[in-house]
Structure 1
Amino acid sequence: MSTKKILSLALLGTLALAGCTDSSETTAGSAAPSANKKITVGFSVYDMQFEFFQKMAKGTQDAAAAKGWEVKLHDEKSDENEMVTGASALIDQGVDLLIISPFKPTALGPIIAKAKAKNVPVIVDDIGGGGAPYDAIVISDNAGGGKLAAEFMDKQIQANGSKSKNVASITCEPSATYAARRNAGFKAEIETRGYKVVAELSGNSKAEEGYKVMKDILSKNPDVAGVFACNDPMGVAAANAIKDAGKSPLTDIVTVGFNADPEALTAIKSDKLSATIAQDPTAMGALTVKLGEQALNKQPIEFSNAPEREVFNPVTLVDKTNVDSIN
Structure 2
Amino acid sequence: MRAPLSIIYNFDECGFQPGQGRSRKVIGSGLACPDLAETDRGETITAVECIAADGWLMDPLFIFKSSGSNFKEAWYDGSEALPPNTGTAISPNGWISDELALCWLGYFINATAGDRLLPGEKRYLIFDGNGAHLTLEFLEKCEKYAIVPFAFLPHSTHLCQPLDGKPFLNYKQQFRLENNELSFWGGRPYGKAEFLRIIQPIRERTFHPRIIRDSFKDSAKAQRNLTRIFQHQREKLEELAMTQDSIRRIRAAQAPQRRVYTKRQVKTLSQDGILRPRDANRSIKERKEKENAAEKRRIDKAAEKAYGFKPSQLSDETIQRAKDSAKEAKDNGELFFYGLIACF
Alignment TM-score > 0.5, same fold: no
Given the two structures, how large is their TM-score scaled by the length of structure 1? 0.29
More strand as a share of residues: 1
Q: Which protein is bigger by CA-based radius of gyration?
A: 2
